[in-house]
Structure 1
Amino acid sequence: MTRTILITGCSSGIGRDAALKLSRLGWGVVASARSAADVDRLRGDGLKTVRLDYADEASIAEGFEEALGITGGRLDALFNNGAHALPGPLEDIPSAGLRAQLEANVIGWHDLTRRAIPVMRAQGYGRIVQNSSVLGLVGVKWRGAYVATKFAIEGYSDVLRQELAGSGIHVILIEPGPIATKMRENAIRQFERWVDWESSARAEEYRAGLLEKLYKGSAGKTQHPPAAVTRVLVRALEARRPAARYPVTPNTTAAMALRRLLPARLLDRLLSRA
């Protein structure tokens, strides 16, 4: 019987790579994206698709029901992947911007996960895979809003894993480091929408380097391809007894070790250089 998976955030990057690879491996993939144009493009790639926007409760409900129609009512796995970042010092992030970030990166994931659990309970099995981040393990300045959402997903997933023990449903965290995606491009749009940097007490810091860091990134920073995440996702889906966490890239492995071994203030000093 063909295994089925619903993947969110498939317009580009990790989600798109995962959808195409799993489809080639014989999975019944339902790929979702926020915009109708991206859904049409994915359909042109030969994928089964639905429109699903984590920030829109109605689209989550409709997209999930449509996905079940495609899979015949079964769902072997859910890969919560779609997310965006709102960069900037936390004191410059308006409450409405943080609320929108939490809605898309946490609340929407919760909504979709709650819809998947009853289906998986009825089957007696399933896998809920959460695409977290190295920034769900350690906090780095100027990325506080995104860090808050990923720390939330870490704790959420740990508790959900405990609560679903014995149900046949596994909850798995994937922890990517820097991956070559459109995250920065999307983050710039969020920054320009929400952050009034010229009125900030840090306006001179923005001019002196923060804006350049946002728009150009850090020089020499190694980024790994989305396929690095997909390889780990396949392992997590196919393992007989999946691990609770799967690090992706040396950055994440190092962050896990540093968080465990170093005092908070020493870790802060190291991360401030990132």
Structure 2
Amino acid sequence: MNFGLMRKAAIELRGTTIVFGLAMMAGCGLLGFALPRFQARIMQRMAEMPFLQEMRSAMLGADLGNASGPEVPFGIAWSHPVLLAILWAHGIICCTRMPAGEVDKGTIDVVLGLPVSRWQLYVSETVVWLGSAAIVLAMALAGSLIGMRLAPPEMRPELSRLLIVIANLFLLYASVAGMAWLMSSLSDRRGRAVTVVLIVAVSAFLLNYLALLWPAAKRVQFLSILHYYRPVFPLRDGRWPVGDMAALGAVAAGLWAAGGVVFSRRDLSTL
């Protein structure tokens, strides 16, 4: 690690961290306040219109039948596509800065001319990204806790269970970010790297939803990273999804390491 590089990266990411952190706080707070209040009304509508139960199952990534405890609204909140999109956008922005972003700006020759190794550059950027991610997730948790305080007492999940969800969510996020690191190392253009990661993320969304409705998709559901993130179960049972977290962690670490190897060996220069 190089503290000078870390300080530079932290300053450059300061605005991104604040904006995405506030967006996650607002989104989690609003969903944590609204969804528990609408739970009874939603259950009534589901009895009248069965297709709503299929929509709920798609949001949760699992079929819970007529379950109506706090795990349902907060499971939907923590797997909501808008919040996941915000979080993944943060990871993609942070993790395509080096080297694809520097090549795009025409400054990669200056950066690589510094008296540090490429691995020092890569690790320094990674540490700053992890710090930024921790702040964004902490603000998301704070927003959820604020919204939860305004919800009916019987619809408030335990904090310890929310922390399990946060840990699982971080590994899901890190998997997307790991793909961004690898694509950034392989690409000469930041836009190209971002596009590939977005295609992979959207494909994971679609596969996860189709698996509940289409048997053929269910057979390959394991290919979707969202298959390993189902917050409704930790919220209901209070158990750590060790297997799912290990799978996501292995994917994230493998992609990040592959990105580092490519970056350390690839011939890079300003286009």
Q: Which has the higher helix share?
A: 2
TM-score range, shorter chain: 0.3 to 0.5
Say which one has the larger Rg: 2
Q: How does the TM-score come out when normalised to structure 1?
A: 0.33
Q: How does the TM-score come out when normalised to structure 2?
A: 0.34
